[in-house]
Amino acid sequence: MVLSYKHEPFTDFTNIENQKAFEKALQDVHSQLGKDYPLVIGGERITTDEKITSINPADKEEVIGTVSKANKELAEKAMQTALRTFETWKKWDPEARANILFRAAAILRRRKHEFSSYLVKEAGKPWREADADTAEAIDFLEYYARQMVKLKSGVPVESREGEINKFNYIPLGVGVIISPFNFPLAIMAGTTVAAIVAGNTVLLKPANNTPVVAAKFVEVMEEAGLPNGVLNYIPGSGSEIGDYLVDHPKTRFVSFTGSREVGCRIYERAAKVHPGQIWLKRVIAEMGGKDTVVVDKDADIDLAVSSIVYSAFGFSGQKCSAGSRAVIHEDVYDEVLEKAVALTKTLTVGNPEDVNNYMGPVIDQAAYNKIMKYIGIGKEEGRLMCGGEGDDSKGYFIQPTIIADVDEKARLMQEEIFGPVVAFCKARGFDHMMEIANNTDYGLTGALISNNREHIERARTEFHVGNLYFNRGCTGAIVGYQPFGGFNMSGTDSKAGGPDYLILHMQAKTTGEML
Ligand SMILES: NC(=O)c1ccc[n+]([C@@H]2O[C@H](COP(=O)([O-])OP(=O)(O)OC[C@H]3O[C@@H](n4cnc5c(N)ncnc54)[C@H](O)[C@@H]3O)[C@@H](O)[C@H]2O)c1
Ligand SMILES: N[C@@H](CCC=O)C(=O)O
């Protein structure tokens, strides 16, 4: 019997045994660095001359691995393989497909610290963030497997006398999975296995900064018994193979997580019907955010401060859910600001291999340059209270930065920075707070810190975000507990880790039989 779903607990790193185990895993992973990873198409390992070199963002000299790079011909080979494999995979008993996910979850759980160590090395995640990323990947496997078992017999519909009507879900076909660098295990794995367990075959194109952890995950799925050709691993250039596969007439759906710019491009291209295409493509596009922590007049100030600071600076602000705006009632603004600056100054920045560092680097030179440019803009749009400095000599380190007194319409309050920068903005009252909270193109996450019941209830309907939290920060959704996805330009609100998610990867079929 399958036990009911419970999310994977996080590792307690204050426990010395856990600390030692993680240090050992880091050493083991260190000894594995620099390997070469081939493409995997139909189980065949294909090595190309052209490579993606994955480096450690905390130490540019350290190569995590080199990864073969698919071109259009190889993407086409992967498509043909996935199309062929779909004909058999779609007929598998959904429960048997779910069993592969359960087994993969068990393997990942046994190798938890190893995977988290790859996340420390390849993505620059501090231990706790890496551990949470691996736990979330396990959660996705466990949760979607159970969801598939629930959906396998469809949903009951009514029948009149003399007929039997049924309503079942069947798979779609070949899906293209395009994942971001910032949850290189959880989002990559979650989007991939949701499509697979629903009976589809997939082409996985991971982010170019983090392809090694994806290659390791493909090995886990093979070990768990996934038949060859169901999951095809094809890292490559987004603009080359990404465009090619999004445009492909045999692509049935695209599951994308990443920036608004790329998401909109995919959405638009996927809408065009190409010669030989006999369906309208489905697109799941989960994109950026400009997320707000709102602090009410009668809030618990210390809770407000920690919610702002940890939502803004966890994983150096490189979360779509990051609280990059703090909107604070004018009566408590100065106090919250002062305390937030003091707390931020205690945060340590450095190599994430050291458990004592709260923040590691940002992902690459382009991200570093972009964030530093925004800090420059912030200095003009507001008052620099702390941080503001960066050092890209060894890795891409940026100090956690608070910019105060920013106008609600300023660029710092409107544009996704995706780095450790938070803008503080003063509000006149609750109406004004809600107005500011809703004044961006996005609508992903938000938090209200308040002890005013009427304001909490008003925010429940007026604060227009896909994930709204009260009296806590705005990051850290848990699979199965807080299904995740946003409104407006944050995407298609697919709600990863939620009860509707798998259905997006299937089509419903009605049958009616006369007796
Ligand atoms: N809403 C969410 O659930 C969610 C979750 C994580 C990250 N994000 C967002 O992702 C962004 C950060 O991730 P990123 O920098 O990896 O995003 P990105 O858009 O730069 O890249 C995402 C993926 O798209 C690929 N890509 C690039 N060009 C492409 C093209 N023309 N066709 C197809 N694929 C292409 C990339 O290679 C990568 O695999 C942020 O904006 C963040 O808010 C959103
Ligand atoms: N689901 C994550 C964010 C994913 C995007 O980066 C959270 O809730 O913090």
State the 10-residue block means of pLDDT for the chain, 515 residues long: 94 98 98 98 98 98 98 98 98 98 98 98 98 99 98 97 98 98 99 99 98 98 98 96 98 98 98 98 98 98 98 98 98 98 98 98 98 98 98 98 98 98 98 98 98 98 98 98 98 98 98 97
The tokens describing 471, both together, are 């009296």
Instruction: Report whether 52 contacts 69 (CB < 8 A).
Output: yes
Going by DSSP bridges, is the β-strand pair 291-295/401-404 parallel, antiparallel, or unpaired? unpaired
Atom 41 of ligand 1, nearest CA residue:
259
Centre of ligand 1 from the C-alpha of residue 141, in Å: 22
Report the separation in Å between the CA atom of 164 and the middle of ligand 1, taken as the mean of its atom positions. 45
The DSSP call for residue 349 is B
- Closest ligand, as measured to the CA of 443: 1
Which of the following is catalytic: 129, 286, 381, 408?
A: 286
Nearest CA to ligand 1 atom 39: 207
CB 175 within 8 A of CB 279: no
Taking each helix axis from N to C end, the angle separating 211-223 and 186-197, rounded to the nearest 10 degrees, works out to 40
What pLDDT, on a 0 to 100 scale, did the predictor assign at position 1?
79
Give the full edge-to-edge strand order of the sheet including 467-470: 383-386, 401-404, 421-427, 323-329, 291-295, 445-449, 467-470
Q: Which ligand lies nearest the alpha carbon of 206?
A: 1
ipTM score over 0.90, yes or no: yes
Written as one string, the DSSP assignment of 173-191 is -EEEEE--SSSTTHHHHHH
If you measure from the C-alpha of residue 56 to the centroid of ligand 1, how many angstroms do you get, rounded to a whole number?
Answer: 19
Integer Cα distance of 42 and 193 in angstroms:
17
User: Is residue 291 within a helix (H) or strand (E), and if so which, with residue range?
Assistant: strand 291-295
Residue 280, exposed/middle/buried by CB under 10 A (0-12, 13-18, 19+)? exposed
CA gap 223, 105 in Å, rounded:
11
Top mutation candidate among 293, 363, 475, 495 for ligand 2, by most atoms within 8 Å of CB = 475
Catalytic residue list contains 474 = no
Q: Hey, what are 472's tokens?
A: 């806590």
The neighbour count for residue 168, using CB atoms within 10 Å, is 15
Choosing from 484, 494, 495, 501 the residue with most ligand 2 atoms within 8 A of its CB, the one to mutate for a pocket test is 484
* 201-205/231-233 β-pairing: parallel
DSSP letter at 490 equals G
Model pTM score? 0.98
| Residue 70: closest CA among 200, 211, 184 | 211
- Whether 320 is a known active-site residue: answer yes
Distance separating alpha carbons of residues 153 and 67, to the nearest angstrom:
41
Q: How far apart are CA 329 and CA 300, in angstroms?
A: 13
Closest ligand to residue 207's CA: 1
Q: How far is the CA of 20 from the centre of ligand 1 (A)?
A: 34
User: How many Å apart are CA 376 and CA 357, to the nearest integer?
Assistant: 25
Cβ atoms of residues 131 and 91 within 8 Å: no
Point out the catalytic residue in the list 114, 129, 142, 320. Answer: 320
Are 218 and 224 in contact, with CB atoms under 8 Å apart? no
CB 157 within 8 A of CB 165: yes
Centre of ligand 1 from the C-alpha of residue 48, in Å? 24
> Do 174 and 79 touch, CB atoms closer than 8 A?
yes
Q: Ligand 1: residues whose CB is within 6 Å?
A: 178-183, 187, 205, 207-208, 238-239, 242-243, 246, 257-259, 262, 265-266, 286-289, 320, 416, 418, 444, 486, 490-491
